[in-house]
Structure 1
């Protein structure tokens, strides 16, 4: 039962936060191979905020 709930939560996160995930992924991809800490912080925080809203 817990696995189904986790899958449902993951699905909701993917549906609701796809734009933020894409922005973060594009930011990271554009910086490769020199990935550094906090270089895409704005995009990460937007994704994190979206994910937290979905969980609540």
Structure 2
């Protein structure tokens, strides 16, 4: 899913950040950057997972 509408993107990121926080994940600016990249199509989930595994 690629989101192009700014308000919809901001709402989706807010929801994702809140969900991650509630699940006990450390929500950093880098996490938000990666979520935004996936939601806007700049990064695929596969690429994100490879990036995380390489870290």
Is the structural similarity TM-score above 0.5?
A: no
TM category (shorter chain) comes to 0.3 to 0.5
TM-score of the superposed pair, with normalisation by structure 2: 0.38
Instruction: Point out which structure has higher relative CO (alpha carbons under 8 A, 6+ apart).
Output: 1
TM-score of the superposed pair, with normalisation by structure 1: 0.38
Larger % of helix: which? 1
